[in-house]
Amino acid sequence: MESLDVYLNDRKVGRLDDDNGLLSFSYDSAYLASGIREPISHALPVRTAPYPHQEVEPVLSNLLPEDIIRTRLGQILQIPRENTFAFLKAIGGDCAGAVAFFPTGYTPSAVAGGEFRELSDEEAGAVLDNLEKRPLDVGEEGFRISGAGAQDKLIACFRDSHVLLPLNGTPSTHIIKTEIRNYPGSVENEWYAMSLASACGLSAAASEIAVIGGKRRFVSLRYDRLQADGRVRRLHQEDFCQMTGIDPKRKYEVLGGPGIVSSFRLLRELSISAAESLEFIDRVIFNFLVGNGDAHGKNFSVLYRGGVATLAPMYDVMSTTVYPDVDRRMAMKIDDEYAFKWITPGKFLRMAEKMGVSGKVMSGEMAKMVRRIRRQAHIVANRCSRAWPSSVYAEIEAGIARRLEQI
The DSSP code for 83 is -
d(Cα 220, Cα 190) in Å, to the nearest integer?
Answer: 10
For residues 195 and 380, the answer to whether their CB atoms sit within 8 Å is yes
The DSSP code for 283 is H
CA 240 to chain centre: 10
Q: Give the residues across from 8 on adjacent strands.
A: 11, 99
Choose, from 137, 152, 294, 316, the residue flagged as catalytic: 294
Task: Tell me the residue ranges of DSSP E strands in 153-199.
Answer: 154-159, 162-167, 174-177
d(Cα 272, Cα 267) in Å, to the nearest integer?
Answer: 5
d(Cα 391, Cα 234) in Å, to the nearest integer?
Answer: 37
- Cα distances (angstroms) measured from residue 324 to each of 223, 296, 327, 329: 32, 20, 8, 12
Of residues 230, 232, 177, 183, the one with CA closest to residue 207 = 177
Active site residue 294: yes
User: Helix 392-406 and helix 274-290: axis angle, to 10°?
Assistant: 110
Task: Tell me the residue ranges of DSSP E strands in 94-230.
Answer: 99-103, 115-118, 154-159, 162-167, 174-177, 207-212, 215-221, 225-228
Of residues 108, 56, 106, 48, the one with CA closest to residue 85 = 56
Cβ atoms < 10 Å from Cβ of 341? 11
User: Amino acid identity of 21?
Assistant: G
Contacts of 362 (CB under 8 A, 6+ apart): 281, 348, 349, 351, 352
For residues 88 and 64, the answer to whether their CB atoms sit within 8 Å is yes
Residues designated catalytic: 294
